[in-house]
Amino acid sequence: MTYPATTDLCDANEDRIATGALRVLAPGWRSFGGLKGFAGPAVTLKAFEDNTQVRTILGEPGEGRVLVVDGGGSMRCAMVGGNLGVLAAKNGWAGVLVNGCVRDTRELAACEVGIYALATHPQKSVKANGGQRDIAVQFPGGVVRPGDWVYADEDGVLVSDISLG
């Protein structure tokens, strides 16, 4: 799938940035998946150091959507690893955006899905079946709501209230 470059979207939508309809998330995202860029409508999840719901959601048909995981920016464990990367690719997810850490980076790099996160951590998360799905999540730089469009590439991550093509 092709996706527009985030730089081009910013240049063409300065008015939407000014109104907050297009949000530029704070820098610092790193690409870990086999695809270096992706775009799609957001499915949101807020889950702190517990990836049980991440697995559940990625087990569903992705239909080109992006799973946006608000892990609270935790640097104490990974929310996505190699098995979940394989699951996301197999089920047709365009991407996974994690406000937190991932692990199994060699495995993630072999998956045909975009995966962006803040850092890596070798320890897995707990399994307590916690989390809230389909709610607005606050990321550094802006809020992400269910159905918002997420655009990610090597230059950054954007969130729009509508598809920008």
Q: Where are the domains of the chain?
A: 6-16+24-160
The binding site consists of 81-84, 103-104
Residue 128 has pLDDT above 70, yes or no: yes
Amino acid at 97: L
pLDDT tens per residue across span 3-58: 899 999 999 999 999 999 999 999 999 999 999 999 999 999 999 999 999 999 99
pLDDT > 90: what percent of the chain? 98
Measure the N-to-C terminal CA separation of the chain; round to a whole number of Å: 12
Contact 156, 27 (CB under 8 A): yes
pLDDT score for 3: 86
Chosen CATH of 6-16+24-160 out of 1.10.240.10, 3.40.50.300, 3.50.30.40, 3.40.50.2300 = 3.50.30.40
Residue 155 has pLDDT above 80, yes or no: yes
Assign 68 to helix, strand or coil: strand
- DSSP label at 71? -
d(CA 95, CA 111): 11
pLDDT score for 1: 63
The binding site for Mg(2+) consists of 104
pLDDT score for 103: 98
The binding site for substrate consists of 81-84, 103
